[in-house]
Copies of this chain bind each other. A is one copy, B any other.
Amino acid sequence: MNRDTNTRTELYELGKYKLLERLSDGIELSSNTIVGHGHDASAMATNSKLALSASGLMLEGVHFNLTYFPLKHLGYKAVVSVLSRLYAMNATPHQVQINMGLSRRFSVENLDELMSGAKLAAQRDGVDIVGIEAVSSYTGLTLSLNALGLCDPDALVSRTGAQEHHLLCLSGRLGAAYLGLQVLERERIAFEANPHAQPQLTGYDYLLERVLKPETRRDVTDNLRQANILPSAMTLVHEGLASALLHICQRSAVGCRVYADRIPIDPQATSLAEEMHIDPLTAAMNGGEDYELLFTVPMDKHETVAALPDISVIGHITTADTGAYLVPSHGDDIRITAQGWNAIAPE
């Protein structure tokens, strides 16, 4: 966990307050942040806009494995994942709070690395880090993030609002983060069996980047705004496409038909999926951490939306009674179901 430096300062050497001072070092605040870190809460000017709040919880061993996940990347990804939720409602994120549960396994330098990634991600999206907090943990690293943003009342987009005949649109390509994780897990197991083995990671650059350094899709909501398209519904794809589709169908009380051959999957993902005997479509439907946007637009926006960079029209909305279906290239339609909750199911 301590690759970049030879110094190791124990957390108790600094104490909590000096630690928090250090972690917030170099963080500059924008003018709409009225109160930043070092107080009981953060405060933000709103100018009559809506205030949006989204949060995310990441647990070591469940959401990340530090044997192959560099702390800097983890900090970056944690911020990206929570900001993404605000973009998914067409809002602009302005503040992020970072709460950490820390065991004594972690040194001050480890947290410097984590924060360097978090600061980079916040800076990239023009977001203030406010309210860093740390508590003790006996069981590794817990990351709890909260993002606060603003949105004009008439620009807000939620999961509600999709109507029959609206087009289902998707940004980017799916399944790569899930498959990138499989590569990392495979190499971890190979390394544990033979610590002298060289990791086989060449040729998977895109997959690894997708799992280790995802980016927000601020560009997508910016492009939609510039094209004068207000989606009728939108949601974040972070637990697979199936969950995202069902969220929109349930909250909008509609059904959908999605065409399998229109779901964009990267060639690297397809090639690795075949090598690992995983159906690439399954990785797209049920894999996680894509951080792409799924949204719906009225049919008369077809040409405009199809002309936007990195957007695919993958299907359309139907009435609720027809259900949510995936239409494969060959064979019968497949009913879309949400994945069970594997990690806490019986073994």
Contacts and interface: CB of A to CB of B under 8 A. Distances in A.
B144 A57 contact: yes
Nearest to A44: B51
Contact of A52 (B15, B42, B149): B42
A317 B46 CA distance: 33
A137 B53 contact: no
B135 A57 contact: yes
A99 B54 CA distance: 10
B35 A344 contact: no
Contacts of A58: 135
The A interface, classified by DSSP as helix, strand, loop or mixed, is: mixed
Interface in A133-153: 133, 135-140, 142, 144, 146-151, 153
Nearest to A14: B341
A51 B46 contact: yes
Interface string A152-194: 0100101110000000000000000000000000000000000
A34 interface: yes
Interface stretch (A59-67, A219-227, A278-286, A306-314): A59-67
Interface in A217-253: 235-236, 246-247, 250-251
Contacts of A95: 53
A214 to B, nearest CB: 16
Nearest to A140: B139
A40 B138 contact: no
A86 to B, nearest CB: 5
Most buried by B among A11, A19, A53: A53
21 contacts: A12-B346, A17-B246, A17-B338, A19-B341, A35-B89, A39-B235, A41-B54, A51-B51, A51-B148, A53-B146, A55-B131, A56-B99, A56-B133, A57-B99, A57-B142, A62-B101, A62-B136, A62-B137, A104-B344, A136-B344, A142-B144
Interface of A: 10-12, 15-17, 19, 34-35, 38-59, 61-63, 85-86, 88-89, 91, 95, 97, 99-104, 130-131, 133, 135-140, 142, 144, 146-151, 153, 156, 158-160, 235-236, 246-247, 250-251, 338, 340-346
